[in-house]
Chain A
Amino acid sequence: MKERTAIHSHGVRTVLVLAVIMIFTGSALAEEVYKIGGIFSVTGRASFLGDPEKKSMEMMIESINAAGGIDGRQLEAVIYDTEGDPTKAVMAISKLINKDNVLAIVGPSTTPTTLAVMPFAEKAGTPLISCAAGNKITMPVNPWIFKTAQSDILAVRAIFEHMKTRGIQKIGILTVANAFGESGREQLEAQAGDFGITIVQADKFGGNDTDMTAQLTKIKGAGPDAVICWGTNPGPAVVSKNAQQLELGIPIYQSHGVASPKFIELAGESAEGTLLPTGKILVYGLLPDADPQKAVLTAYAENYTKAFNQPVSGFGGYAYDAVNILAKALKGTGGDKGKLRDNIEAIKDHVGVSGVFTFTPDEHNGLAADAFVMVQIQNGTWELVK
């Protein structure tokens, strides 16, 4: 034991000496790097989020480094996998802050993991840009926490704005009985009044229910002008099929939770005519050239497809935006975390994949309702609706 301690202290001494040399010569060493941490659910149930996020982050950091880095310094990504588990996320953030000494953190991928790590980022004074969508992450505002994913609030607003143009006033809502559905229902109920819309019937369904005709019959009985279904696959596809069987005959709106080709595959022809809000990445090819995001979206989608040979998703875009925002804010900070935070908060009109970001001290998501576009399913594919 003694011997080991001696070796150990010898090692410490070497490091100290090196550190002292580094301090004196640091400014001269161009290879000093800015370390950025990443916490994603790369494996496990939420791997569909974490996997593209990790890839997008690595891709972006590589391209920033290839272009000469930030203020002549290279970036280095240190990425840990949470497997979607809040406990592992907390372990990851402790390592990033205490061992890796990162300047800022991108992620985690899900709302529960983000909520679990937020206090640690705040305590260490390390800016964190989450890739999760939950409203609770940035409401109330925590000075050190930002997020790039569009929240439910904006999705609900996009749907209601579209309904207003169609003159829809009475709606029925059908939400899945889990955190996603509950959050959607809260927002639908909270915002309906602002758009002069009344919810005449609110119902729920279980994520694995086999039949929703009873709920839809109840909604039909209340005579709404449209139905909004809020859930993630497979429930909404069952709702879509049942609605067709019951010949509901009113427009059906789905949430952004089903904005993937899987929904069209599951719901089949019953999906025809369904309206839903989605991030622009799903339809980037259809956007008008005047759209401010078109160039960014096209570049991201093409680079991603080329690098990883798999279709692009909106989820990777959250990490892509987070890295770009960090890169912008890092300029001129000299690696000071407080200055970095202030710079992030001052970012205006940053055009990203998920939308155009303008952060303020009271708004740490920075997106507006135009982050979503409304699409309609026609002939088995997405069409933009005006």
Chain B
Amino acid sequence: MEAFVQYLFSGLTNGAIYAVIAIGFSMLYSATELINFAHGEFVMLGALGLVTLWGGLHLPLPAAFALTVAGAALVGFLFERTAIRTVKKPHPIVLVIITVGASIFLRGGAMMIWGKDAHSVPPFSGHPPIDVAGAKLLPQSIWILVIAVVLAVGLFYFYRRTLTGKAMQATAINKWGAWLSGIPSERMVLLAFVMSTGLGATAGVIIAPITMCSYDMGTMLGLKGFCAAMLGGIGSLWGALAGGFTLGIVEALAVGYVSSAAKDAVAFILLLLILYIKPSGLFGTADASRF
């Protein structure tokens, strides 16, 4: 029982991270039908940004958090403006390959700035682990869970209640139609990029204290987030959230009860299964109504 609860905590923590990354994937996809394979690198930028601003320059945590996310979003903005917008014939496959190139570029840049060594930062709050039924729950895990849920709920309200959110949704459903009704759809796409990369960086910031941050940490996290987004049905907010938590918990249980060597395999087997059985994902409908 104690072990099971511990696996569950481990799964929830990892799951929340996957969920935040998956939401970033999903919201960009729903606005642009583009899978951004550089998304994992924004997670890395978030983590390493926190290492520099909080760990290195000792800014107050909220300021370092906000600056890091803003900085990564700015990189996302430049990425959209310089690499995506300028493409003459924006065929999906061309754009996807551009994102792969961007991920290599960002990884190389980060290696030059932060070096090849890993870095670490302390937890947000220095409380000791909390004992629940013999298992240990880290305060940082609570931070991660709370932030993930707050982000998801916040996004939900953004899409439902604000004019910008609705305009973005309209652009996602029909770009041309939205443009005809006076919505600046190009600007909406740009906003989607900025928000998506900002979300990626947020995931990086909140996991920085529980792991080691290095220039090559983003690739695997990005792939896991992508799996989670596909699992839940890409384009769906709640799907991304559910996909993330499912993936995290299944992984942790697989490590605990099957074999730790199977950890990464589990994510990709789940992905293949879902693509065979229900290609639209757990929460996706055939014609995704998206967010």
Q: Does B171 contact A (CB under 8 A)?
A: no
Alpha-carbon distance between A161 and B261 when the two chains are bound, in angstroms? 28
Q: Please tell me if the beta carbons of A210 and B210 are within 8 angstroms of each other in the complex.
A: yes
Alpha-carbon distance between A268 and B263 when the two chains are bound, in angstroms? 27
Alpha-carbon distance between A45 and B261 when the two chains are bound, in angstroms? 25
Q: Does A205 contact B (CB under 8 A)?
A: yes
Partner of A209, one of B9, B117, B129, B263: B263
Partner of B7, one of A217, A266, A268: A217
A237 to chain B, nearest CB (A): 6
Within 8 A of B (CB), among A190-212: 203-206, 208-211
When C-beta atoms are compared, the residue in chain A nearest to B252 turns out to be: A214
Q: Does A13 contact B (CB under 8 A)?
A: no
B228 to chain A, nearest CB (A): 14
Interface segment among B66-74, B211-219, B269-277: the answer is B211-219
Most buried by A among B214, B216, B263: B263
Alpha-carbon distance between A220 and B10 when the two chains are bound, in angstroms? 15
**B204-237 interface bits toward A, Cβ cutoff 8 Å, 1 = contact, 0 = none:** 0001001110101101110000000000000000
Given A211-B13, A214-B256, A206 and B212 contact (CB-CB distance below 8 Å): no
Q: Using Cβ atoms and an 8 Å threshold, which residues of chain A touch B138?
A: 245
Partner of B136, one of A205, A214, A247, A268: A247
Partner of A177, one of B17, B216, B261: B261
Q: Does B120 contact A (CB under 8 A)?
A: yes
**B122-155 interface bits toward A, Cβ cutoff 8 Å, 1 = contact, 0 = none:** 1000000100000110100000000000000000
Chain B, interface size category, equals: 35 or more
Q: Using Cβ atoms and an 8 Å threshold, which residues of chain B touch A246?
A: 6, 129, 136
Q: Using Cβ atoms and an 8 Å threshold, which residues of chain B touch A241?
A: 210
Q: Please tell me if the beta carbons of A234 and B210 are within 8 angstroms of each other in the complex.
A: no
Q: Please tell me if the beta carbons of A238 and B255 are within 8 angstroms of each other in the complex.
A: no
Q: Does B118 contact A (CB under 8 A)?
A: yes
Q: Using Cβ atoms and an 8 Å threshold, which residues of chain A touch B17?
A: 210
Alpha-carbon distance between A361 and B117 when the two chains are bound, in angstroms? 40
Q: How many A-B residue pairs have CB under 8 A?
A: 90
Within 8 A of A (CB), among B170-186: none
Alpha-carbon distance between A246 and B2 when the two chains are bound, in angstroms? 12
Q: Does A378 contact B (CB under 8 A)?
A: no
Alpha-carbon distance between A215 and B120 when the two chains are bound, in angstroms? 21
Q: Please tell me if the beta carbons of B7 and A214 are within 8 angstroms of each other in the complex.
A: yes
B61 to chain A, nearest CB (A): 17
Q: Please tell me if the beta carbons of B261 and A233 are within 8 angstroms of each other in the complex.
A: no
Q: Does A136 contact B (CB under 8 A)?
A: no
Q: Please tell me if the beta carbons of A210 and B117 are within 8 angstroms of each other in the complex.
A: no
Q: Does A10 contact B (CB under 8 A)?
A: no
Q: Please tell me if the beta carbons of B212 and A266 are within 8 angstroms of each other in the complex.
A: yes
Q: Using Cβ atoms and an 8 Å threshold, which residues of chain B touch A95?
A: none
Q: Please tell me if the beta carbons of B255 and A218 are within 8 angstroms of each other in the complex.
A: yes
Q: Can you spell out 11 A-B residue pairs with CB atoms less than 8 angstroms apart?
A: A204-B260, A208-B220, A209-B263, A210-B14, A210-B207, A214-B255, A217-B256, A237-B212, A241-B210, A246-B136, A247-B136
Give the 3 A-B residue pairs with the shortest CB-CB distance, closest first: A234-B212, A234-B118, A210-B211
Q: Chain B: residues with CB nearer than 8 A to chain A?
A: 3, 6-7, 9-11, 13-14, 17, 116-120, 122, 129, 135-136, 138, 207, 210-212, 214, 216-217, 219-221, 251-252, 255-256, 260-261, 263-264
Q: Chain A: residues with CB nearer than 8 A to chain B?
A: 45, 177, 203-206, 208-211, 213-215, 217-218, 220-221, 233-235, 237-238, 241, 245-247, 262, 265-268
